[in-house]
Amino acid sequence: MITSQIRTALLQTFVAVFAVAGGPLDELPIPPPPPDPYRLLDALHPQLQPNWHLGQPYTYLGIPYVRVFIQDEWRGSPVAAAIALCPGPENKIWQETRVIRLVMQHKQRMSPAYECRP
């Protein structure tokens, strides 16, 4: 009698842990591959102002980041500059990713990342 109760409790615990964990590990979603860095830079380059430079794209937690180096003599809002730099919704880069984070660096200071979305 005690062994059947223990067996039932262990089985219930196993089922509860399995359900909370979301299933076996081989069923976990696989993050999509990061976009091609060259296509990402090509998507941002047409809106880039003269004398500004794009850093090498990198991916963090599946989200592509690009650092934008703004010349010191430029005046304005880095966030407004990031908004103007985002690719349009018709750009082919949106077939590879759903978000691009731009980190604007102006006068040796980096602004918080701005998210471009289609």
DSSP 113: P
pLDDT of residue 95: 93
13 or 21, higher pLDDT: 13
> What is the pTM (predicted TM-score) of this model?
0.72
Query: Parallel, antiparallel, or unpaired: how do β-strands 109-110 and 100-106 relate?
Result: antiparallel
Contacts of 8 (CB under 8 A, 6+ apart): none
Would the pLDDT of 115 be above 90? yes
Q: What value does the mean pLDDT take over residues 44-50?
A: 92
Instruction: Tell me what the pLDDT averaged over the chain comes to.
Output: 86
What are the extents of the domains in the chain?
37-116
Q: Which of 71, 80, 66, 62 is nearest to 37 (CA)?
A: 66
Give residue 16's pLDDT: 67
